[in-house]
Amino acid sequence: MYSFDYVKPGSIDEAVAALQAEDAQALGGGQTLIPTLRQRLAQPSVLVDLGGCLDAGVASQDGGCRIGGGATHASVAASADAPKWLRAVADGIGDPQVRNRGTIGGSLANNDPASDYPAAVLGSGAEISTNARTIAADDYFQGMFETALNEGEIITGVTFPKLEAANYQKFDQPASRFALVGVFVGKGAGGVRVAVTGASESGVHRWADAEAALAGNFSTDAVPGAPSADGVISDLHGSAEYRAHLVAVLTRRAVAAAG
Amino acid sequence: MPKDQGIGASSKRREDVRFLTGKGQYTDDINRPGQTYAYFLRSNVAHGKINGIDTSAAASAPGVVGIFTAKDLEAAGGVPCGWQVTDKHGEPMKEPKHPILAEGKVCHVGDPIAAVIAESLNQARDAAELIDLDIEELPPVIDMRAAISGGPTVHDEAPDNICFDWDFIADNKEAVDQAIAGAHHVTTLTLTNNRLVANAVEPRCAIGEYDAARDEHTLYTTSQNPHVIRLLMGAFVLSIPEHKLRVVAPDVGGGFGSKIYHYAEEAFVTWAAKAVGRPIKWTADRSESFMSDAQGRDHQTKVELALDENGKFLALRCETLANMGAYLSTFAPCVPTYLHGTLLSGNYTTPVIHTNVKAVFTNTVPVDAYRGAGRPEATFQLERTIDKAAREMGIDPVELRKRNFIAPDAFPYQTPVAVQYDTGNYGATMDKAVAMADLDSYAARKTASEAKGKRRGLGIASYIEACGIAPSSLVGALGARAGLYEAATVRVNPTGNVAVMTGSHSHGQGHETTFAQVVAEMLGCDEANVDIVHGDTAKIPFGMGTYGSRSIAVGGSAIVRSVEKIIEKGKKIAAHLMEAAEADVTFADGQFSVAGTDKSVDWGTVALTAYVPHNFPHETLEPGLEETSFYDPANFTYPAGAYICEVEVDADTGKVDIASFVAADDFGNVINPMIVEGQVHGGLTQGLGQALLENCVYDENGQLVSASLMDYAMPRADDMPSFGVDHSCQTPCTHNPLGVKGCGEAGAIGSPPALVNAVVDALSDLGVTHIDMPVSPGRVWAAIQAAQN
């Protein structure tokens, strides 16, 4: 990797200030950033480690939960204060090393088009808190690796609502074990939401046709056939048609498992 | 009661103490005083003309010790190829130069262009980024069919990109054509044997060092055969006399073939260490391993099998395109030819066989032997085709194989493809596998799978391999430019303990344990009293190293021969001590005795006396107790077996789960059953990894798409079932002293067709007749869609 400076601020304000430096880069759990640095694919001037200032806790809240931006996947997976469906999502991310280092804030700020948390956040209708504001999930995800975050804006927490039924179905890409396709189905006060990760060239997104069908009939029979393969990722692990097919299969399975 | 030591005991692997406690000494663990670091600037295009390399800015970067390009290496030779194939017109194969650093053009992504030596690796990398390359991109050729059909030319020496066009056995061609033309049934199958990346846990590493005062070079390297590297590099590349060149291959973390070969980086650090007057270390990172380690397999084949109305095989015809990549790696030409064509008889009595192999240059990383090397390709062709024939003719796949097995009383069996099998019993391993797999209750398991919404499939495969790679006379006749014997020195120390210097090289196989068991058994001593030394040309006799499942069969036999000489010498000493006739002295359980008397001397006394020869008759008895043997066997060995795989396929997603896998192998006699079981587990996992997960993919521009472990799917523990392994069916090898055959590659040879046969079985009622490896979920789903449309 290239040389860089490293700071670990003790408060959010200090972190925000540190991130004003040109080519500064926030460091969460580093599960994407550190490999990127090692391959010399990024050259930040300074790494601002958020581990010293972010809340890493998990707390139940109004039947849902609030998770600090610094919470690791392992701590969410192990927390009795997180709903079971969310614990299952966290427990399926990466491997034990990744889960013990990676954070929810880091995952959402990166917004990898095949990662798991974006599907859970979008599919549950969660809210993302930053040092400056609160952003609804529908407004937050803006394409592959694109989010509503401004330069230097830091995710401080995520609030997941109470859901009556929810489930995340992930089909592993065999090498990376990221989601080849992942589907989160959530049914709550706001209706039925279906969020898809891994499939679209525009990143995580909602599947409106399925949501409409399931709103009146929350059963596997109601799930539509495969969505259009237009704009769906095609690579050595699966064609666009295959991924589109998986979206429907996994949605059915998520509905069935959500009960 | 199992033995607790010696031959047949499952002795714990002594080397694991250091491996599992972090005390192994791998090449990268070695650091030499004043050491510098090398970084290779590699091509990022698959094919291009080098118009200029400007290193001036890089040369003045901090920490730079030296920067080198091809023009600095004009006196050096190219990286040599160790095997010559003669094509069907009697012409030698096309052998374009493989320069250490690219000369005028680059031929694959990863081709090294320049090397930067600096005080630290980071400084070397920083400086490399300042090198200004002027490369004019040329259209690359990646696909083999395009390469031989007027595509761009990789090397001017081979304008049609064909390295050789090989017929085997040419004289059989007419008979095969006739048999196929007139046969009751002909099964045809076109298949691909997917390209693989070896991915040893330890990446390649090389340290060059030059001692100016002694004019001596040392290369520390990740190699399976240090003497082969010394010979190839010293004699053919750098013109360093062998007595001035030491090659050390210390602990090596897996090879699987990829560390047999002599690589450009080894020659470079050896040469450059003298040029800069400092030791130089180079360690590949994983990305470099993907684009610079020789890759495996990559064959496309059309198979035609002719059968009579009873399912007897009448003739076999195979036509293969074998990818060589951009340059000929050390043993590349022998893989699709003599390690492949000679195995096409399999376990069967097929009377006539003909194969044509066209070896093709493409703008991809060189391809060479990878665990099994040619034999997995042959086995996959045969066993997939036989399975298809069984389905087409409505014959049970076990029964069809049994009808065609070479009978146990037919050995030695001369195949129509040059090799002669010494011994075997293929029906026995098949019966054993069928029993282990509990096929009687298969129908119930299939029903249970269906109740879960899964399709269950059953796959059968037999295999045979020619391994214990040797003998010199045979491989010489087939084109090897080296002999393939093995060497061992057994040194008894004055206090009776034993050092064995072997030319075999352990890179995970457990030789230090297994070889000690053999010696302990023969000498009647404790295994702990035997030390195994390997991997250093300064310490061991000239040996050929480890590959082709040859270590116990060839290297172990060399040790046996030396121990036999030790015992003979010991008898002479004992006879002298007991004032008896040498012919009357016997040796058993560590005691030399005079037959028919109560006179005996123990091992320790004989050993000590050998080095304290106060009253030896020196005209007839030399001091010392040390013997060397070079063992060159009469034939290959022929391990064989039967594998049965059951899979569950989720037709909605295409996901294949291996429900069970049993392996019944005939390895002849077994030295350490636990180690053999481990070798089988590893081989099966690599074979099933190829069949289910692994795939090395280039795009049309020659960029490696599966260039990291994020896209190249290695098998993990949870991808594998709990294997059922058996090696009780033993037909000992008839021509080596231990009766052993070798077990390292078997699992990787027999398992791919077993798995693919099972997947096709699960989907056959949908109309699926074949899926190429890896049978990934996307491919399975696509095959179902294609069959139904």
pLDDT in tens, A121-162: 999 999 999 999 999 999 999 999 999 999 999 999 999 999
B509/B603 same-domain check = yes
Judge if B310 and B441 occupy the same domain: yes
d(CA B264, CA B248): 17
Q: Which of B373, B190, B107, B321 is nearest to B769 (CA)?
A: B190
CATH of the domain at B211: 3.90.1170.50
A107-111, B469-473, B500-504, B579-583: lowest mean pLDDT where?
A: B469-473
Write down all domains in chain A, each with its CATH number in brackets: 5-52 (3.30.43.10), 58-160 (3.30.465.10), 163-258 (3.30.390.50)
Indicate the helix (H) or strand (E) that contains A46.
strand A46-49
B1 confidence band (pLDDT: 50, 70, 90)? low
Tell me which amino acid residue B728 is.
S
Q: CB A237 to CB B125 under 8 A?
A: no
d(CA B446, CA B421): 38
Is B24 inside a domain boundary?
Answer: no
pLDDT band at B478 (very low <50, low <70, confident <90, very high): confident
What is the total count of domains within chain B?
3
Does any CB of chain B come closer than 8 Å to the CB of residue A171? yes
Q: How far is A226 from chain B (nearest CA, A)?
A: 12
At A28 the pLDDT is 97
Say yes or no: B492 and B564 in one domain: yes
Alpha-carbon torsion, ordered B599, B603, B608, B611, to 10 deg: 100
Among B344-348, B473-477, B535-539, B590-594, the range scoring the smallest mean pLDDT is B473-477
A175 closest CB neighbour out of B122, B709, B781: B709
* Same domain assignment for residues B676 and B625: no
Residue B63 in contact with partner chain A when CB distance is under 8 A = no
Q: Which residues of A104-115 are buried (b: 16+ CB within 10 A; e: fewer)?
A: bbbbbbbbbbbb
Count H helices and E strands in chain B, helices first: 19, 28
Distance CA A90, CA A140 (A): 20
Cross-chain Cβ contact A245/B781 below 8 Å: yes
> What is the residue whose two structure tokens read 């791919």?
B752
In chain A, whose CA is at the least distance from the CA of B711?
A175
Inter-chain CB proximity B287 and A242 less than 8 Å: no
- pLDDT at residue B470 tops 80: no
- Cβ of A236 within 8 Å of Cβ of B705? The answer is yes
In a domain, B332, yes or no: yes
A239 vs B: CB within 8 A? yes
Last-in-domain residue among B292, B312, B338: B292
Do B294 and B365 meet the contact criterion of CB atoms below 8 Å apart? yes
Question: Could you tell me if B599 lies within 8 Å of chain A, comparing CB atoms?
Answer: no
pLDDT for residue B3 is more than 70: yes
- Evaluate if residue B222 carries a pLDDT over 90: yes
Residue finishing a domain among B609, B631, B653 = B631
First-last CA distance in chain A: 48
For an interface test with A, give the residue of B39, B123, B710, B788 to mutate (most A CBs within 10 A).
B710
Locate A213 and state its tokens.
């069908």
Q: Is B696 on the interface with A (CB under 8 A)?
A: no
**B191 CA: distance to closest CA in chain A (Å):** 19
Q: Give the residue from chain B lying closest to A235, CA to CA.
A: B705
> What CATH code is carried by the domain that includes residue B576?
3.30.365.10
For the cut 80, the answer to whether the pLDDT of residue B2 exceeds it is no
Whole-number pLDDT of residue B473: 85
CB A73 within 8 A of CB A102: yes
DSSP H helical ranges for B706-789:
746-763, 777-788
Tracing tokens 């898809």 back to the chain, one arrives at A196
Token pair in block for residue B175: 């008979």
Residues of B in contact with A248 (CB under 8 A): none
Axis crossing angle, helix A240-258 with helix B777-788, rounded to the nearest 10: 100
**Within 13 A of B513's CA, how many CA atoms are on the CB side?**
22
B601 and B701 both lie in a single domain = no
CB contact under 8 A, B653 and A39: no
Q: Which of B693, B712, B778 sits opposite A239 (nearest CB)?
A: B778
**CB-based contacts of A84-89 (< 8 A; 24+ apart in sequence):** A85/A120, A85/A163, A85/A166, A85/A167, A85/A168, A85/A186, A85/A258, A86/A120, A86/A124, A86/A160, A86/A166, A88/A167, A88/A168, A89/A116, A89/A117, A89/A119, A89/A120, A89/A168, A89/A184
Note whether B706 contacts A174, CB cutoff 8 Å.
Answer: no
- Among A175, A239, A242, the residue with its CB nearest the CB of B711 is A175
Interface of B with A in 96-155 (CB under 8 A): 122, 125
Backbone angles phi, psi at B48, to 5 degrees: -170, 160
- What is the pLDDT at residue A198? 96
Residue A246 to residue B653, Cβ atoms within 8 A: yes
Report the gap between the CA of B61 and the closest CA in chain A (Å).
15
State the count of interchain CB pairs (< 8 A) between A and B: 47
Residue in B287, B653, B711 closest to A171 by CB? B653
Are B212 and B97 contained in the same domain?
yes
Q: Find the DSSP H helices in chain A.
A: 12-18, 33-38, 73-78, 84-91, 96-101, 104-110, 117-124, 137-140, 208-216, 240-258
Q: Say yes or no: B437 and B515 in one domain.
A: no
Which residues, at least 6 apart from B579, have a Cβ–Cβ distance to it below 8 Å?
none
Does B697 reach chain A within 8 Å, measured CB to CB?
yes
pLDDT at residue B780, as a whole number: 98
Percentage of residues in chain A with pLDDT exceeding 90? Answer: 98
Looking at residue B504, its amino acid is S
Residue where the block lists tokens 């990143």? A203
- Please check whether residues B627 and B639 belong to one and the same domain: no
Identity of the amino acid at A78: A
A25 CB-contact burial (10 Å; exposed 0-12 / middle 13-18 / buried 19+): middle
Chain B, nearest residue to A170 by Cα: B653
Q: CB neighbours (10 Å) of residue B90?
A: 6
Among A39, A176, A236, whose Cβ lies nearest the Cβ of B695? A236
pLDDT digits (tens, 9 = 90+) for B653-680: 999 999 999 999 999 999 999 999 999 9
Average pLDDT of the residues in B285-303: 97
The answer to whether the beta carbons of residues B352 and B414 sit under 8 Å apart is no
B460 with B506, same domain: the answer is no
**Closest to B280 measured CA to CA, from B293, B290, B292, B266:** B266
- Cβ contacts of B84 within 8 Å, gap of 6 or more: B92, B93, B95, B333, B479, B481
Q: Which of A176, A178, A223 to mutate to test the interface with B (most CBs of B within 10 A)?
A: A176
Considering the domain architecture, whether residues B430 and B455 belong to the same structural domain is answered as yes
Domain final residue, candidates B631, B648, B668: B631
* Residue A190 banded pLDDT, cuts 50, 70, 90: confident
Strand partners, B280: B36, B208
Of A178, A236, A242, the CB nearest to B781: A242
Rounded-to-integer distance, Cα B681 and Cα B727, Å: 13
Residue ranges making up the domain that contains B545:
485-631
The Cα B665–Cα B741 span in angstroms is 11
Alpha-carbon gap: B517 to the closest alpha carbon of chain A (Å): 40
What separation in angstroms does the CA of B619 have from each of B110, B391, B585, B615, B623? 62, 74, 20, 12, 11
**What would the pLDDT profile of B42-59 be if each residue is shown by its tens digit?**
999 999 999 999 999 999
> Is residue B786 within 8 angstroms of chain A, CB to CB?
no
Q: How far is CA B45 from CA B101, B104, B708, in A?
A: 15, 14, 17
Q: Tell me the per-residue pLDDT of B736-775, one tens digit each, with 9 for 90 and over.
A: 999 999 999 999 999 999 999 999 999 999 999 999 999 9
Confidence of residue B474 (pLDDT cuts 50, 70, 90): confident
**Average pLDDT, integer, range A22-40:** 96
Q: In what order do the strands lie in the sheet with B48-54?
A: B105-106, B48-54, B132-137
Residue A59 CB-density burial (10 A; 0-12 exposed, 13-18 middle, 19+ buried): middle
B110 and B41 in a single domain? The answer is yes
Q: Does residue A180 come out as left (phi exceeding 0), alpha (psi in the -120 to 50 range) or beta?
A: alpha
Distance of CA A235 to the CA centre of its chain: 22
Find the residue in B nearest to A171 (Cα): B653
Q: Kindly state whether residue B159 falls inside one of the protein's structural domains.
A: no
B150 within a domain of the structure (yes/no): no
**Band of pLDDT at residue B477, cut at 50, 70 and 90:** confident
Q: Which runs of E-coded beta strand occur in B493-607? A: 498-502, 530-533, 585-588, 591-594, 600-602
Among A3, A174, A245, whose Cβ lies nearest the Cβ of B693? A174
Cα of A249 to nearest chain B Cα, Å? 7
Contacts of B287 in chain A (CB under 8 A): 39
Spell out which residues of chain A touch residue B710, defining contact as CB-CB under 8 Å: 175-176, 178
B673 with B574, same domain: the answer is no
Does a structural domain hold residue B161? no
**Least Cα separation, residue B253 to chain A (angstroms):** 22
Mean pLDDT of B717-738: 97
Residue B173 lies in a domain: no
Instruction: Compute the distance between CA of residue B122 and CA of residue B114 in angstroms, rounded to an integer.
Output: 16
Domain assignment present for B165? no
Q: Evaluate whether residue B382 is within a structural domain.
A: yes
Secondary-structure percent of chain A, ordered helix, strand, coil, rounded to 5: 35, 25, 40
pLDDT digits (tens, 9 = 90+) for B108-160: 999 999 999 999 999 999 999 999 999 999 999 999 999 999 999 999 999 99
Instruction: Give the gap in angstroms from C-alpha B692 to the nearest C-alpha of chain A.
Output: 10
DSSP state of B152: -
* Residue bearing tokens 């430019």: B481
Cβ atoms < 10 Å from Cβ of B57: 12
Q: Which amino acid is at B229?
A: I
User: Are B502 and B561 within 8 A, CB to CB?
Assistant: no
